[in-house]
């Protein structure tokens, strides 16, 4: 895979390949843009089919973090890391601490946090080798698991999208398909249940499905059948690139609004396909910014309550993006990019001593 051309396509500043055979570490850290501040983004631990797939994922994810921070109004840049391997089999103290050493070698240009396949406990281990990590446990001086805040932001993003399509943000009686009931998806199902929404769910974890079904009355369907569910909202909360030429024509929902990253397989082609079908899309890096808002609050030593309140503002950010898309005759994905790029462009004109910092 041509590494430099791929990094250039996404305008990355730095891509770091990390390897320590003694502990089985193979990782990639991607720093996309530090105009607004240090690059912050989670560390994903995943058993990629190939190293090329891992590189593609980390490049896309880190770029998304730049745009996420910009739209959320945070003084942060965009970065991401991936560790290649099965987290249930390959994860160890030595591997995580070795990864922490690589993070530390970047001198604060990249700040890591938890993501799919990593946990608060993992961040505590990484913290032993570097101070450039957040999302650590409360015992270690952190804010703990950010997923409740991520889900809270997604919940308010769903309200904004439903308000745009149906004329009211009220979710009582609405049917929502939640694809993936991991940490974020499970909290989202709970929030939806509490306001009277009905949920249709799927996941690879049968225990999670059983818990949701018993606690929240969720309807369980197979992994593939979720695309055909008769619902008002489709909420992807698992892996990315699931909205594509094959799946979009199957959707019955009029709204796509969920917590997964990089939901569109191709931003331009599939963003337009959703619009052509009359489906409103809540751009993923906008609606799922609650986790980033949470760790930023941790860095600023602000309480969880402040993060939750700030995550509610995702409602208004999305409404602005929906309005801009209609005004310009463009897709919601294109509109959110314009909002992010305008903020980055504005801040880049300021001298370094004028910029906000951590």
Instruction: Give 213-246 pLDDT, tens digit per residue.
Output: 999 999 999 999 999 999 999 999 998 889 999 9
Average pLDDT over residues 147-153: 95
- Topology alike, domains 3-63+77-138 and 147-290+299-306+312-342: yes
Tell whether the model's pLDDT for residue 1 goes beyond 80: no
Tell whether the model's pLDDT for residue 353 goes beyond 50: no
* pLDDT tens-place string over residues 31-63: 999 999 999 999 999 999 999 999 999 998 999
Instruction: Give the integer Cα–Cα distance in Å for 226 and 177.
Output: 7
Instruction: Give the integer Cα–Cα distance in Å for 241 and 228.
Output: 17
* pLDDT tens-place string over residues 195-216: 999 999 999 999 999 999 999 9
Tell whether the model's pLDDT for residue 330 goes beyond 70: yes
Asked about 210 being catalytic, the answer comes back as: no
Chain-centre distance of CA 286, in angstroms? Answer: 9
Q: Annotate 270-318 with DSSP letters as a single string.
A: HHHHHHHTT-EE--HHHHTTHHHHHHHHHHTT--HHHHHHHHTTHHHHH
Select the CATH number that applies to the domain covering 3-63+77-138 from these four: 3.20.20.70, 3.30.70.3280, 3.40.50.10860, 3.40.50.1820. 3.40.50.10860
Instruction: Give the integer Cα–Cα distance in Å for 132 and 17.
Output: 18
**Per-residue confidence (pLDDT) for residue 301, from 0 to 100:** 86
Instruction: Give the integer Cα–Cα distance in Å for 240 and 298.
Output: 27
Instruction: Give the integer Cα–Cα distance in Å for 338 and 71.
Output: 10
Q: What per-residue string of b and e applies to 260-298 under the rule 16 or more CB within 10 Å gives b?
A: bbbbbbebeebbbbbbeeebbbbbbbbbbbbbbbbbbbb
Cβ proximity of 53 and 20 under 8 Å: no
Tokens coding 133: 């990590």
**Per-residue confidence (pLDDT) for residue 107, from 0 to 100:** 97
Q: What CATH number is given for 147-290+299-306+312-342 in this structure? A: 3.40.50.720
Q: How many CB atoms lie within 10 A of CB 93?
A: 11
* pLDDT tens-place string over residues 262-308: 899 998 999 999 999 999 999 999 999 999 999 899 888 888 899 99
Helix spans in the chain (H): 3-9, 51-71, 87-90, 93-105, 120-127, 147-166, 183-194, 206-216, 267-276, 284-287, 290-299, 304-311, 314-328, 332-348
Specify the DSSP class assigned to residue 358.
Answer: -
Report domain extents, the chain: 3-63+77-138, 147-290+299-306+312-342
**Per-residue confidence (pLDDT) for residue 356, from 0 to 100:** 52
Average pLDDT, the chain: 93
> Of 9 and 307, which is predicted with more confidence?
307
- The answer for residues whose C-beta is within 8 angstroms of residue 175's C-beta and 6 or more apart is 197, 198, 199, 200, 229, 230, 231, 232, 233
Cβ proximity of 322 and 164 under 8 Å: yes
Q: What per-residue string of b and e applies to 17-32 under the rule 16 or more CB within 10 Å gives b?
A: ebebeeebbbbbbbbb
For the chain, count helices (H), then strands (E): 14, 11
* Side-chain-facing half-sphere of 143: CA atoms under 13 Å: 27
* β 14-20/25-33 pair status: antiparallel
Average pLDDT over residues 165-175: 98
Backbone angles phi, psi at 294, to 5 degrees: -65, -45
Q: Which entry of 20, 26, 68, 80 is annotated as an active-site residue?
A: 80
């Amino acid at each position: 895979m041509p590494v430099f051309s791929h990094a250039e396509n996404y305008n990355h500043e730095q891509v770091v390949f990390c390897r320590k055979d003694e502990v089985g570490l193979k990782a990639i850290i991607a720093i996309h843009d530090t105009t607004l501040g240090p690059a912050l983004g989670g560390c994903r631990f995943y058993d990629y089919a190939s190293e090329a797939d891992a590189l593609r994922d980390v490049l896309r994810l880190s770029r998304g973090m730049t745009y996420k921070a910009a739209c959320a109004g945070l003084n942060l840049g965009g970065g991401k890391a991936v560790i290649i391997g099965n987290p249930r089999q390959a994860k160890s103290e030595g591997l995580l601490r070795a990864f922490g050493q690589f993070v530390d070698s970047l001198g604060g240009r990249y700040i890591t946090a938890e993501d799919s396949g990593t946990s608060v406990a993992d961040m505590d281990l990484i913290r032993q080798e570097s101070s450039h990590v957040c999302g650590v446990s409360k015992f270690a001086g952190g804010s703990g698991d950010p997923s409740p805040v991520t889900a809270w932001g997604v919940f308010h993003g769903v309200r904004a999208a439903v308000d745009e399509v149906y004329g009211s943000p009220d979710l009582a009686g609405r049917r929502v398909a939640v694809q993936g009931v991991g940490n974020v998806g499970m909290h989202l199902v709970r929030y939806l249940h509490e306001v009277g929404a009905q949920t249709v769910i799927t996941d690879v974890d049968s225990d999670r499905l059983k818990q949701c079904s018993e606690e929240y009355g969720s309807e369980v369907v197979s992994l593939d059948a979720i695309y055909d569910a008769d619902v008002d909202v489709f909420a992807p909360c698992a892996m990315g690139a699931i909205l594509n030429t094959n799946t979009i024509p199957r959707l019955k929902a009029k709204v796509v609004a969920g917590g997964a990253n990089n939901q569109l397989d191709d931003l331009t082609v599939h963003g337009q396909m959703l619009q052509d079908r009359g489906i409103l899309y809540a751009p993923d890096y906008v609606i799922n910014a609650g986790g980033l808002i949470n760790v930023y609050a941790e860095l600023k030593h602000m309480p969880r309550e402040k993060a939750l309140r700030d995550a509610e503002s995702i409602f208004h950010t999305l409404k602005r993006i929906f309005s801009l898309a209609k005004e310009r005759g463009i897709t919601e994905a294109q509109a959110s990019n314009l909002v992010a790029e305008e903020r980055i462009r504005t801040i880049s004109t300021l001298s370094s001593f004028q910029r906000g910092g951590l």
